[in-house]
């Protein structure tokens, strides 16, 4: 049986914004508003499943990892797995659908493909005020003969680049794929593919590079070194950014956590969730669609004194164990049925890798050079919110309603988990 190598690669910053659903028609007109047209686009069919998948995956990553940073992109992982649905049959298909939180009685494979296609189109829209490069690529062995329908659907629904590769020459194949990845992620990921097995016949890559700028940048001159309390026994020094400005906030007394939403330019923003000391697990255990909707409908704008650490986090996951715990098992074994790719049940996934890089700086990213504002001085009348202990990030984009990233920062000076 031949092997497929999956690589999910992310770079850049994070986004989160609440969903805006507008149901009013313009007075005197029978045509729907632009917001209504957007709300009825195909991507809305996959939003509930993608949100469920995000929290299911977070739960699996966090098991036994209470002292480690977490960082991943649910959209990247679900996009790559849904591409495999193009070729999955029978039990393999059912496991992928269930693992991705799609109910076969409520959504069809066609609707899933159209939903991801619409999301990719919205996220790659050049009119967005963020630098975003999101896409997929298939590197197929020269001797492998994929079905025309699979290649067509991969290109049509997932905008996949298709390249023929000589996997018999593993060194040359690795060089070809790594060059592609490095170029697509603006040099953030170098030499990702190493040690390809001799029987690999296809490498699937999902990549995302994103650079976003705060709507109101933090002033560099207000950043001061301060303490971050990792746990009761561990304290580290971090560069703490500061801003006195209007932010959407909410104090969830039921879950003992404070929320702050920080907008970027365009349709993205970052939601920072700060549990009270000792309440991280309580917050994590409660994470699900209902809680997210509650938070989105509860945040209100107020002026606060915000203290947020500057940090850079890297993480790498070999996903086989995580996905198997979510019920996606057959694709990694000889029981895999990916016959929709070649017409024969001869393929399985040998390795699935997910890498992420995140930088949160004064301007939004480490590469940014935006103007700063000098009026961000402390106001003694404003509430003070200090992110000086472990917190959670949920990040998404409002037009596509996509959660792009999710993470937990236990130590801003640490890396993410490397499985």
Give the CATH number of the domain where residue 169 resides: 3.30.497.10
pLDDT tier, 305 (very low <50, low <70, confident <90, very high otherwise): very high
**What is the DSSP annotation of 8-74?**
EEEEE-----------PPPTT--SPPHHHHHHTSGGGGTHHHHHHHHHHHHHHHHTT-TTSBEEE-H
pTM over 0.95: no
Q: pLDDT of 118-136, one tens digit each?
A: 998 888 887 777 777 778 8
Domain-embedded: residue 331: yes
Residues 27 and 111 in one domain: yes
Residue 312's contacts (CB-CB under 8 Å, 6 or more residues apart) are: 357, 358, 359, 360, 366
**Cα-Cα-Cα-Cα dihedral of 399, 404, 408, 413, to 10°?**
-110
| Total domain count, the chain | 2
Domain-embedded: residue 150: yes
Is residue 372 predicted with pLDDT exceeding 70? no
CA 204 to CA 201: how far, in whole Å?
A: 10
Q: In terms of residue numbers, what domain contains 24?
A: 2-212+313-358
Residues 305 and 323 in one domain: no
Residues 109 and 235 in one domain: no
Residues 258 and 347 in one domain: no
Helices (H) and strands (E) in the chain, counts: 11, 15
Polymer length of the chain: 419
What is the rounded average pLDDT of the residues 7-31?
38
Residues 165 and 234 in one domain: no
Contact between 364 and 212 under an 8 Å Cβ cutoff? The reply is yes
Q: pLDDT of 73-115, one tens digit each?
A: 999 899 989 999 999 999 999 999 999 999 988 999 999 999 9
Domain-embedded: residue 363: no
Residues 351 and 396 in one domain: no
Residues 169 and 258 in one domain: no
CA 11 to CA 183: how far, in whole Å?
A: 12
Residues 69 and 108 in one domain: yes
Chain-centre distance for alpha carbon 263: 17
Contact between 9 and 189 under an 8 Å Cβ cutoff? The reply is yes
Domain-embedded: residue 260: yes
Contact between 311 and 320 under an 8 Å Cβ cutoff? The reply is no
């Amino acid at each position: 049986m031949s092997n497929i190598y999956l690589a999910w690669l992310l770079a850049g910053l994070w986004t989160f914004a609440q969903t805006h659903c507008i149901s009013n028609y313009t007075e005197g007109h029978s045509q729907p508003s632009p917001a209504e047209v957007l709300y009825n686009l195909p991507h809305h069919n996959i939003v509930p499943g993608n949100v469920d998948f995000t929290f299911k995956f977070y739960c699996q990553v966090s098991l036994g990892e209470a002292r480690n940073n977490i960082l991943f992109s649910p959209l990247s992982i679900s996009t790559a797995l849904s591409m495999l649905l193009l070729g999955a049959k029978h039990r393999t298909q059912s496991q992928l659908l269930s693992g991705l939180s799609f109910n076969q009685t409520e959504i069809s494979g066609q609707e899933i493909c159209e939903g991801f296609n619409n999301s990719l189109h919205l996220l790659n829209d050049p009119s967005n005020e963020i630098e975003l490069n999101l896409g997929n690529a298939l590197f197929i062995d020269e001797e492998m003969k994929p079905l025309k329908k699979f290649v067509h659907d991969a290109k049509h629904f997932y905008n996949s680049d298709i390249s023929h590769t000589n996997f018999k020459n593993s060194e040359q194949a690795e060089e070809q794929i790594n060059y592609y990845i490095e170029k697509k992620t603006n040099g953030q990921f170098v030499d990702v593919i190493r040690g390809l097995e001799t029987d690999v016949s296809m490498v699937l890559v999902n990549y995302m590079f994103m650079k976003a700028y705060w709507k109101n940048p933090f002033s560099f001159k207000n950043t001061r070194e301060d303490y971050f309390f990792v746990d009761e026994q561990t304290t580290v020094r971090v560069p703490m950014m500061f801003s006195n400005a209007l932010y959407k906030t909410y104090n969830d007394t039921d879950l003992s956590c404070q929320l702050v939403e920080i907008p970027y330019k365009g349709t993205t923003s970052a939601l920072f969730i700060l549990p009270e000391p000792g309440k991280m697990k309580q917050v994590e255990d409660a994470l699900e669609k209902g809680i997210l909707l509650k938070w989105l409908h509860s945040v209100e704008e107020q002026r606060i004194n915000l203290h947020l650490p500057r940090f850079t986090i890297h993480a790498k996951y070999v996903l086989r164990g995580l996905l198997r715990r979510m019920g996606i098992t057959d694709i990694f074994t000889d029981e895999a049925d990916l016959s929709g790719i070649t017409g024969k049940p001869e393929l399985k996934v040998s390795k699935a890798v997910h890498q992420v890089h995140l930088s949160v700086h004064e301007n939004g990213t480490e590469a940014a050079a935006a103007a700063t504002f000098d009026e961000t001085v402390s106001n003694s009348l404003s509430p003070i919110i200090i992110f000086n202990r472990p917190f959670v990030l949920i990040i998404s984009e409002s037009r596509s309603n996509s959660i792009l990233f999710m993470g937990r920062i236990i130590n801003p000076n640490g890396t993410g988990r490397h499985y």
